[in-house]
Amino acid sequence: MKLEIWFEFASTYSYLSVSRIEELLNGTQIDLAWRPFLLGPIFRGRGLDTSPFIIDSIKGAYMWRDMERCCKKYGLPFVRPPIFPMNGLSAARIMTAALSETWSGDFARLVFAAQFGCGADISDEAVLRRVLEDCDVTPDEWFAKAKQSLTKSKLREATEQARTLGIFGAPSFLVGDELFWGDDRLEDAIALAHVL
């Protein structure tokens, strides 16, 4: 069965799921589909001009402490980045262009690790360049593909599809027609993908 992970590069809890999912699926027959999209247009369509964690400072403060604890639990490095939410547009376009590449999962994990493990600014081309080099591909080639109008329109379509699916946050998981929201539901989504 197929499991789709819908994620946004600026999303804190997406870091947890993107970092965990491949190991959890290792040895299973579940077919993983990476579905990068942009939360900004989804939030704006819901009347929010930024992350709910910025609008609601009490919930935001809780989220950062919760992230510290979750990263410790999962053995993931964590630093609170100096900017939140970061602009993940370039990363999302590269990921969109690279979806059929074997290294796309590595790219996603490394971008999140740079951001939430090291505090790096993922809108900085130099940061993405290092990640692409770590994936053993030519950065210039993938920056060029990211800027193609086909890539841009694919990402816009993915975001529109997320809205149609009723996705309102990230990460979300789709298994058949069941939608799960949040890193806390990753195991449940996998359990369903096993039996469907």
Sheet holding 178-181, edge to edge: 31-36, 2-7, 172-175, 178-181
Q: How far is the CB of 107 from a copy of itself (least distance, A)?
A: 29
Q: How far is the CB of 168 from a copy of itself (least distance, A)?
A: 5
Q: How far is the CB of 59 from a copy of itself (least distance, A)?
A: 6
For a copy of itself, give the closer residue by CB, 103 or 168: 168
The b-or-e profile of 14-51 (16+ CB within 10 A means b, else e) is bbbbbbbbeebbeeeebebebbbbbbbebbeeeeeeeb
For a copy of itself, give the closer residue by CB, 93 or 185: 185
Output the CA–CA distances (angstroms, integers) from residue 176 to 12, 96, 129, 137, in the order listed: 25, 22, 36, 33
Selected catalytic residue, list 11, 17, 51, 90: 11
For a copy of itself, give the closer residue by CB, 84 or 168: 168
Supply the DSSP symbol for 183: G
- Residues near a copy of itself (CB under 8 A) are 46, 56, 58-59, 61-62, 65-66, 69, 73, 166, 168, 178-182, 184-185, 188
19 is catalytic: no
> Tokens 């790219």 belong to which residue?
107
Q: How far is the CB of 123 from a copy of itself (least distance, A)?
A: 28
For a copy of itself, give the closer residue by CB, 105 or 171: 171
Burial class (CB in 10 A: 0-12, 13-18, 19+), 149: exposed
What residues act catalytically?
Answer: 11
